[in-house]
Amino acid sequence: LSLFLHLPGTSEEVAPPVQQCFMVPKKEINVVSDMAKWKRSQVWLWGQGILGNAADLPIEKLVALLNTLDRWIDETPPVDQPSRFGNKAFRTWYAKLDQVSMSVLCGVTCSSHRRAVCPAGLGEWLCHCRHLCHVSSCLLTPGHEAAFAAFLCCLCKIGVLRVDDQMAIVFKVFNRYLEVMRKLQKTYRMEPAGSQGVWGLDDFQFLPFIWGSSQLIDHPSLEPRHFVDEKVVNENHKDFMFLECILFITEMKTGPFAEHSNQLWNISAVPSWSKVNQGLIRMYKAECLEKFPVIQHFKFGSLLPIQPVTS
């Protein structure tokens, strides 16, 4: 999670003081020139790698929350419609999430944290930032997973999650989030917004490639060239986030891998996972965090401030 925000090592250090007043997050990036303000902000701090220990109860509550969202998909089947893509039943599913987001968050947080939930805007980030979600046209944008990662960062900052739990946050919570998003894509035939086709990394996700490549650094046998090997992917995808991403792509697209995912095919020629990881971080910074169409919708407040760094 340090990819988005440099957080100190303990929840005591990151949890806001009891007397802190929270402000409602607001839009700060209104014109292209505001991107300079974003790049000087406290949120714009970089790190890499995944560190941490075991999970605790809040992790399980978040997984249970995502399980509920998964069940709602089953309860909201696609409707018959002329258009092949963007099934309108998605709007019904999303409306349910929008209506109960605050009550659901209260179930995840304890009473001492709930003063931060509403004014800090956590409900908006839980809803994949409703300003990032093109509900009417059933599109998914590059900002969705960034919004969910911001939601997780905020939970760390108010002390609901521990930064020491980064492994569990990524490989339990974020991975379950990915499963729900993939189910949404399959069920409602979601269309990607801003797709670059074969020249893009993936139509919908980016962060799991970064964290997944980090997970594979120093692996004794799996090398980047192996992820284009169907047999290797089928045998190992359950254990590695990166390979799970590759499997999903091959399930959703037809034809030779080099043709439908040329960018990833080129990445498979990189000699080491550490090089892959470093390159993906640079690519994400350029293709998402530095793109005005994505960042213009981001909201800033007490937990994710726009104020510049002081050191």
Amino acid at 129: C
Sign, Cα dihedral of 96, 148, 176, 261: positive
Would you state the pLDDT for residue 99?
A: 75
Q: What is the C-alpha separation between 244 and 249, in angstroms, rounded?
A: 9
Ordered structural domains, the chain, with CATH? 55-184 (no CATH), 197-288 (1.20.120.1150)
User: What is the model's pLDDT at position 129?
Assistant: 42
3-state secondary structure of 191: strand
At 119, the amino acid letter reads: P
**The pLDDT of residue 288:** 82
Cβ atoms of 210 and 278 within 8 Å: the answer is: no
132 token code pair: 């990032």
**Type and span of the H or E element at 52:** none
175-188 and 89-108 helices cross at what angle (nearest 10)? 160
Tell me what pLDDT residue 24 has: 62
What pLDDT does 157 receive? Answer: 77
Q: Which residues pair with 26 in a beta bridge?
A: 300
Which pLDDT value is given to residue 52?
32
Q: Are strands 26-27 and 299-300 parallel, antiparallel or unpaired?
A: antiparallel
Question: Residue 140 carries which DSSP code?
Answer: E
- Using CA of residue 164, residue 201, residue 187, residue 151, what is the dihedral sign? positive
Contact 246, 264 (CB under 8 A): yes
In angstroms, rounded to a whole number, what is the distance separating the alpha carbons of residues 133 and 4?
Answer: 20
- The pLDDT tens digits along the chain (311 residues) read 554 433 333 333 444 444 455 556 677 888 888 888 877 776 655 333 333 333 456 788 888 888 988 999 999 999 998 877 778 888 888 888 777 666 666 666 655 555 555 444 455 555 544 433 444 445 566 677 887 888 888 788 777 787 778 888 899 999 999 999 899 888 988 877 666 666 678 877 889 999 999 999 999 999 999 999 999 999 999 999 999 999 999 998 889 999 999 999 999 999 999 999 999 999 888 888 888 877 777 777 777 778 776 65
Burial class (CB in 10 A: 0-12, 13-18, 19+), 259: exposed
Query: According to DSSP H, which parts of 189-240 are helical?
Result: 207-216, 230-236
Distance CA 224, CA 265 (A): 10
